[in-house]
Amino acid sequence: MAIDNSELKPFRVFYATYMTKYTKKYENRKVWEEPDPTKILSYIPGTILEFLAKEGDVLKEGQPLLTFEAMKMVNTITMPYNGIVKKFAVNIGDRVPKAATLVEIEYAED
């Protein structure tokens, strides 16, 4: 009995490549994209409460950008690095899903 290799596709795990059949779930998955360090995304669905900075502000790493309510808890989103607030992609009161762009920033010289 001959083995049908026409459906086998490469699957890479670290440095090894295996030939296997893909499931429908795997074929329809959302493909991983490298994160964009100039965009701050929501990590959970929630509501925008308040902006703590303005567009054009030069902020240091750790300074607050906005407050975000999620699961009845208020969270403060802070700058991940020294930078300039380029644009807020949301408005106060907006309900945002997980992985929505909240703020666009750009690197600033120290």
Quote the CA–CA distance of 79 and 15 in Å, as a whole number.
35
Please compute the mean of the pLDDT values over residues 20-27 and round it to a whole number.
91
Say which amino acid occupies 92: I
- Quickly state the pLDDT bin for 6 (edges 50, 70, 90): confident
Q: Catalogue all structural domains in the chain, each as residue range(s) with its CATH number.
A: 39-107 (2.40.50.100)
Q: Each residue of 28-54: pLDDT tens digit? A: 998 888 989 999 999 999 999 999 999
Answer positive or negative: Cα dihedral of 48, 53, 58, 64. negative
> 3: pLDDT confidence band, cut at 50, 70 and 90?
low
- Token readout for 96 is 């945002």
- Secondary structure of residue 84 in the 3-state scheme: strand
* pTM metric for this prediction: 0.73
Residue 1 has a pLDDT of: 57
Q: Is the pLDDT of residue 96 over 70?
A: yes
